[in-house]
Amino acid sequence: MPTITYQGKTYECNNEERLLYQLNQQGANLASGCQGGHCHVCMIKVIKGEVPDQPQSDVKAEMKEKGYFLPCLCKPESDFEIAPPERRDSFISANITGLDFINPGIIRLRTNLPTNFDYQAGQFINLVRAKDGLARSYSLASLPSDKQLEFHIRLFANGKMSGWIANDLQCGDEILMSEAKGKCCYQKAYADRPLLLAGTGTGLAPLYGILRDALTSAHQSKITLLQGGRNSDELYYTEELRQLAHQYENFSYMPCVLDGDAPEGGFSGPIDELIPQQLAADSNWAAYLCGDSSVVGLMRRSCFTHAVEADDIHCDAFV
């Protein structure tokens, strides 16, 4: 059995299960995100010995050279020693420029646009607390042409990151961030195909970026946005979205609620069950589905069973 050393302690691990899972089962308390190699929240560094190739396959060349790998994808084959990431290797520094509640459960956080920070609307980054490396993934709601980065953060009861952002962070404070990741972005190849954008809660964040990207890229066909919430109080940016629908003839905004009366121009009912009637109005759709991972799974199934090709369904699931 391989022995893994971390911060002076040794852990006996097998090569059947993922290293991240095994270390955390034994109390190592490593940062953990999507657990599928997607978000890179758990990225860590090997300082002695060798890790297999697979957990480094999606790590940038210069980071790989420094020994970084993804323990969520690693099945250890030999003994090695690991260390926490060095923040100056991995992260970009930014300052908070805006912090307010969009509604009682959602914080809007804005930062300056760091120099040479490249991204596409709809991507996500990892926000990192500088003092201890606490990290979580958040989707970008802004466009690269905006002067600031914007994030929509759901406040969880006892949530470590969202609680810190709500209670301790202030304008002017420093926050660290990873480079932008993810492929849930507008594609110009879709310019003359109908687009369905659907999401619940802060799933609106990436959709808001993707929507504005499509509109400013002069998308030719129609765009339908279904925004879901448990009730009307959970919906946000409704006025901004109504205004966009007024401004762009090819854009329709449909707010949906699970409980209570349908909001103006929208529906009442589970969002995944409202998708088929929208899809029935046209053909050759591409879909962008964002937010809570279980709802994204239901919406994905709804699109797939109503003739949207799997390659044309793009998801940003908040695990």
Q: What are phi and psi of 182, to 5 degrees?
A: 100, 155
Using CB under 6 A as the binding rule, whether residue 33 contacts ligand FAD is answered as: yes
Q: Is 22 in the site for ligand FAD (CB under 6 A)?
A: no
Which of 28, 30, 34, 96 is in the footprint of ligand FAD by CB under 6 A? 34
| Distance from the Cα of residue 238 to its chain's centroid | 21
- How many helices and strands (H and E) does the chain possess? 8, 17
Contact of 39 with 72, CB cutoff 8 Å: no
CA torsion sign for 39, 296, 288, 152 is negative
Pick from 39, 121, 198, 225: which binds ligand FAD (CB under 6 A)? 39
Question: According to CB under 6 A, which one of 22, 111, 123, 139 is a site residue for ligand FAD?
Answer: 139
168 contact partners, CB below 8 Å, separation of at least 6: none
| Distance of closest approach, residue 299 Cβ to ligand FAD, in angstroms | 16
Nearer to ligand FAD, 113 or 319 (CB): 319
Paired tokens of 52: 């297999």
- Residue selected from 22, 120, 137, 178 as contacting ligand FAD according to rule CB under 6 A: 137
Instruction: State residue 203 phi and psi, 5-degree precision.
Output: -60, -15
State both tokens at 136. 């979580």
d(CA 108, CA 279): 31
Is 153 a residue that touches ligand FAD (CB under 6 A)? yes
Q: Does the protein bind ligand FAD through residue 159 (CB under 6 A)?
A: yes
Note whether 229 and 202 are within 8 A (CB).
no
Provide Rg for the chain, Cα atoms: 21
Closest CA relative to residue 127, chosen from 110, 143, 148: 110
Q: Tell me if 119 contacts ligand FAD by CB under 6 A.
A: no
Structure tokens at 121: 């609307």
Quick one: 46 or 197, whose CB is closer to ligand FAD?
197
Given the complex with ligand FAD, which of 292 and 312 has the nearer CB atom? 292
Interface characters, 272-311, with ligand FAD (x: CB under 6 A)? ----------------------------------------
Site for ligand FAD in 198-257 (CB under 6 A): 202, 205
Judged by CB, which is closer to ligand FAD: 153, or 176? 153
By CB under 6 A, name the binding residues for ligand FAD. 33-34, 39, 124, 136-139, 152-154, 156-162, 202, 205, 316, 318-319
